[in-house]
Amino acid sequence: MLKKDKKEPVFSAGRETHIHFSLWGIWRNFYVRSIVFVVCMAILLALLTTLVLRIVTRHGQTYPVPELAGMSIADAQKLAKSKKMHVVINDSVYIAHKPGGMVIEQNPKSKVRVKKDRKLFVTINALSAKRVGVPDVAGLSLRQAKATLEMQGLEVGRLSFAPDIANNNVLRQQFRGAILKEGDKLVVGSRVDLVLGKSRASVRTAAPQLIGLSLPSARSGIIEASLNAGRIRYDESVKNMTDSLEAKVYLQYPVATEESTLEVGSLVDIFLTVNSARLGQ
């Protein structure tokens, strides 16, 4: 008995043709073609816009801000220009013992990465210093003399002692070795040296606790204790002018204890840092 041949599968060409003509019919529709065209143009425009922006703005390309603090404003402007940045003087202060025109602070800070043509705002030390009349502090106590001088924008400089019936009584005031008279003019922030009375050969004072204080506060504490600032040292963490203004005392010599006393006029060395670990923070 003969086996019947298996029927070969038959594919319908008519169905494929129908699908083909259906898609072609959809594409021939004006509205469909318009929508597809608009979508394609939008994608192309977005790609072109992104590409142009990357070229024009150099997307992602940044430069480190140079260290300007401690430089003259002229040198700071030259350095910034070489780095394709611009310096803008934002403010000025007066610090007596710094050169006029020196950059004191900057924003953004050094090493921050910015794009080309960024403006760097700086604070400089005033170019011209105001001069004030010296008050007469002779006959006042050290504490009173210090307050009076500071009200005029002056500071107490070095303390020296001479025999007198009263301790810490101001005998005379001097500037760079010359005796000052009331009304003499000095630049704001100048340090006035005082000669104080000492009633006996040896007069001692408690050593001040200076740890954690800024340099101005430490100087003030030393003077109020009838002592003089000795060596002032910054550690390796203090790298620029901004750091020096923010630094705090982490070590002093002699060390302050409840029992420690010093001869009036003695030197106190202070060491400063911005390293929080050394400050115990």
Q: What is the pLDDT of residues 117-136, one digit of tens each?
A: 899 999 999 887 788 999 99
Same domain, 78 and 149: no
Same domain, 223 and 271: yes
Same domain, 214 and 141: no
Same domain, 208 and 272: yes
Same domain, 195 and 209: no
Residue 26 in contact with residue 32, Cβ under 8 Å?
Answer: yes
Q: State the CATH number of the domain containing residue 173.
A: 3.30.10.20
Same domain, 224 and 256: yes
Q: How many domains does the chain have?
A: 4
Q: Where do the DSSP E strands lie in the chain?
A: 63-64, 86-93, 103-107, 113-114, 119-125, 131-133, 155-163, 170-175, 178-179, 185-187, 191-198, 204-206, 228-234, 248-253, 261-263, 267-273
pLDDT category at 210 given cuts 50, 70, 90 is very high
Average confidence (pLDDT) over 52-71: 77
**What percent of the chain has a predicted confidence (pLDDT) above 90?**
55
In a domain, 41, yes or no: yes
pLDDT at 31 over 80: no
pLDDT at 57 over 60: no
Would you call 189 exposed, middle or buried from its count of C-beta atoms within 10 A (0-12, 13-18, 19+)? middle
Residue 63 in contact with residue 84, Cβ under 8 Å?
Answer: yes
pLDDT category at 11 given cuts 50, 70, 90 is very low
pLDDT at 236 over 50: yes
Same domain, 156 and 184: yes
Same domain, 81 and 121: yes
In a domain, 4, yes or no: no
Same domain, 195 and 208: no
pLDDT at 56: 61
pLDDT at 1: 46
Helix/strand/coil for 137: coil
- Check whether the bond before 66 is cis (ω within 30° of 0): no
pLDDT category at 242 given cuts 50, 70, 90 is confident
In a domain, 155, yes or no: yes
Residue 169 in contact with residue 194, Cβ under 8 Å?
Answer: no
In angstroms, what CA-CA distances link 141 with 32, 164, 255? 97, 13, 26
pLDDT at 70: 87
In a domain, 11, yes or no: no
Same domain, 281 and 208: yes
Work out whether the CA dihedral 81, 82, 85, 91 comes out positive or negative: negative
Helix/strand/coil for 46: helix
If one compares 259 and 144, the residue with the highest pLDDT of the two is: 144
pLDDT at 96: 73
pLDDT at 15 over 70: no
Residue 248 in contact with residue 274, Cβ under 8 Å?
Answer: yes
pLDDT category at 259 given cuts 50, 70, 90 is confident
How is residue 115 written in tokens? 């794009």
In a domain, 98, yes or no: yes
In a domain, 279, yes or no: yes
In a domain, 152, yes or no: yes
Last residue of a domain, one of 173, 201, 229: 201
pLDDT at 59: 54
- What single-letter amino acid sits at 263? E
Same domain, 192 and 253: no
Q: What predicted TM-score, i.e. pTM, was given to this entire model? A: 0.67
pLDDT at 194 over 80: yes
Domain of 168?
130-201
pLDDT at 95: 79
Last residue of a domain, one of 181, 201, 221: 201
**What percent of the chain has a predicted confidence (pLDDT) above 70?**
87
Same domain, 104 and 79: yes
Average pLDDT, the chain: 86
In a domain, 13, yes or no: no
